[in-house]
Structures are given as structure tokens and as C-alpha cells.
Copies of this chain bind each other. A is one copy, B any other.
């Protein structure tokens, strides 16, 4: 383990993070928040920047960088970001408990969108901005962002991207990685900018347009309104956001391929077809199930479309309280929560590609056991599915279940109901946001004890980084003595 390079890279990431707090200063100035609005960010920038500078002041002795260093750096960075990013909440007095502030910040960066804040109306614009801005940064990855703007950070780009970008298969665009990262971020930010404009054109105030565009882009779900997006009843806004969420749940490599290669590549993606197919099937099932409850077909379709889009992309915005939907519809939604969006997108969950691999490999295994002598092909994305990939994807599932159970044990100690405990873990570990019951769309995570809040925060980071980097960081094998 090359500790020097970890220290150095972490330092640079922190310096970079300090810069990301600057836009909040501008918001504080625009809204005339004065010194009480400015100093939490100035002080946080100073603390983050100085820590970062102290860490990267000295160049590392050795330059070797391998997968293990990549995992450790990514996990350490996300933990540090959630710590330093929580300073503005604490310094401004918005949140008093450091654990709660850590939770809120981790929830932002991991694009979960779970909140412990109760009264959004009394919070300053600069804080609301920072809270949602973390979604934008976390969505595509903080370190990928750093790679994009500081291309000469290290020769370690592949390992960092592999650790931070979600999905079982690391995409095709491995060559010239820092320039790839830059292009991916340009696509991402352009899409976000277009969304801001479209929302503003629909009559949403410009500040709210930014906030909700960040929420949709990162598939996070933080809002500037107490009742979230339900504040805006305009069908136009709901459709724009619904379509936007689905688009941010698509693998960004596809946009890259469509822009630089051939637009037909986009629709040739098997994962995309499954993604759209699952959305369509879920909408159909829920519409049939809900139809007796709605008089207006257009309202039914709009509500179902928005909800399915918000859930499968793990954004967690809600226009209607699906807690009151029939059991069948909630089972469909629960399944979508675990499936999540596409690999290489900003969404959480298991990811479409993993679910497809589970379905295909399980069916293949059953066919193989029924007809042991026949050689049966198994392919995904027009390529043969390798045994090693299938094996690792299945191990991901068992690891996922074990971590889930572990966090659930801790949460169950202070949760008032079973559903609260289960859905709190499901909603944070899959980076969705609101759960059910006490932590439902109308509720809040504020009632859980500190241990649970901390465990759920680590759960969010594990969910966002797909577990493994955090386990590497925590493993004693990573840190041999001496």
C-alpha cells in the first residue's frame, strides 16, 4: 500500500472540494445574506483547503498506483467529503448535531436525498444551494470531476474511475481517460443546464429550477420546498422532470458513443432496452392496479410515470403519496428500488445490468441443469457473458445482502416500527431517499438515534461506491503493520 500517494491525492481532492464551495458564496451574495450567510462557507473553505494543502504539500516518494490504492482513495475521499461538506451546516447553525450533519452531507454527495431537516422554509438560500449542489457533484463522481478538471492528477485514472463509477462492467471508453472524464462531465453539465432552462420556462422560479435540476441530474431528490416537487402541480414540470430523471438514469457512455460514434449505438444497447422495458412494464402494472382509484386517465398516467421514473432512478421525488397505493403497486415500486438505474449513470440500486445478469445466468443455469449435455450460449450486450463476470456479480449480491442485514441490525435498535427499519436501510443503501412509515415521503430521518444515523450514512456511501471500496478501506489486510 502506497500511503504517500493516498495522502497526496486525498489532499488534492480536498483542495478541489474547497473550490466547489465557492458558488454558495455567490448565492449568499445574491440573496443578501450578509456575514451570517458568507462566513460558514468561508470558514469551511479555509478548513478544507488548508487540510488539503497540508496533505498534498509534499510530493509522494513513490508513484506506484494499483487497484487497491484506487479503492482506498475513493472510499477515503467520500468519507472526508461528507465530513468537510457538513461544516457549512454546522457553522451556520442549520444542524446542531455533527452526526446529523454528516448524514445530510453524505445523503447529498451519494445522491440519496434522505434528510434530517424539518423546516426547509427557515433555511438560507446558500445552505439549500450547497445541499443540492452536492447532488450535482456526487452524481457523476467527485474524483471523476477532479480528473476532468485536473487531468494531470496521477496516472491512476483507470483505477479511480473503476472504483467510483457504478456498474459491474467497466465501460468501453478507457482510452485517454482524463479527456473522457471531461467529455462525460460536459455532457452531464449541459444536460443539467438544459433542464434548468426547461424548468424555468415552465414557470418555476430560477433558484428552484437549479435546485430541482441538481436533484434530478444527480438522481438525488433534495428539494427547496417542504412538500418537495408536489409543490408544483403543473403537468409540464412533472413531465419534464420525469423524462429528465429517466435520462440521467441512462449510462453516460451511451451519450458519449451516440455523440462521437454513431447514434444507432445508443439504441443497440441491450441494457437500455431492459431499462425502458422495465419502466414500461412497471407503469402498465401500476396503471392497471390504480385505475379504479382515478377518474382522470391523464392524471393517472402522469402520476404513475413520474413515480416510476423517480423510484427506478432512485431519485425519490414524489408528486403523490404512494404510501397509500394498493399493496401490489407498492410491491412493484419496492422491486424498482432495488433494481435501480443503469450502470454508469448517476442512479443507485443494484443496477439494470446486474439484474439482467442475474436473470440470464439463473435461467441459463436452470437450462444447463435440465439438459446437462447441451452447450447453451449466454450473451449480454452482444458479447458472450464470461464466467468470471457472472461469478463476481453473484458475489456482489451476497455481499449486498450481508451489508444490508448488518445495517438493518443497527437501525432496528432505535426504529419505532419494522417497516421504518427495513425501508430506512433500503432507501439509504440504494441511494433513494425517503423510505416508508416514519421515514416516508411525509416523514424524516431525524427520529433515529446517532448510531443508526451514522450507520445509515456509511450505508449510503457503501451503496454509492458499490460496497467494495469501503470494505477495502476497513479491511485490516489493507493496512499491514510496519
Contacts and interface: CB of A to CB of B under 8 A. Distances in A.
Interface of A: 68, 327-328, 330-332, 335, 358-359, 361-362, 365-367, 369-371, 391-392, 394-395, 397-399, 401-402, 405, 408-409, 412-413, 415-421, 468, 471-472, 475, 477-478
A361 to B, nearest CB: 7
Max chain B Cβ within 10 angstroms of own Cβ: one of A327, A413, A420 = A327
Contacts of A365: 392, 395, 399
B418 A330 contact: yes
A366 B202 CA distance: 49
- The interface residues of chain A, by DSSP majority, are classed as helix
A327 B417 contact: yes
Contacts of A332: 409
Given A367-B477, A397-B398, A477-B371, A415 B335 contact: no
A452 to B, nearest CB: 11
A68 B471 CA distance: 42
Contacts of A412: 327-328, 330-331
Task: State the oligomeric state as a number of copies.
Answer: 2
A472 B370 contact: yes
Contacts of A420: 327
Given A328-B413, A415-B327, A395 B398 contact: no
7 contacts: A331-B408, A358-B401, A358-B402, A362-B398, A365-B392, A366-B475, A369-B472
Contact of A370 (B369, B401, B477): B477
B68 A370 contact: yes
A370 B330 contact: no
A447 to B, nearest CB: 13
Given A327-B415, A421-B331, A395 B477 contact: no
Max chain B Cβ within 10 angstroms of own Cβ: one of A392, A402, A478 = A402
A407 B365 CA distance: 21
Given A395-B362, A395-B394, A398-B361, A369 B418 contact: no
A107 to B, nearest CB: 22
A397 B405 CA distance: 15
The 10 closest A-B pairs by CB, nearest first: A331-B412, A328-B412, A394-B394, A365-B395, A362-B398, A327-B412, A358-B398, A370-B477, A327-B415, A328-B413
A409 to B, nearest CB: 6
Given A367-B477, A394-B398, A399-B366, A421 B327 contact: yes
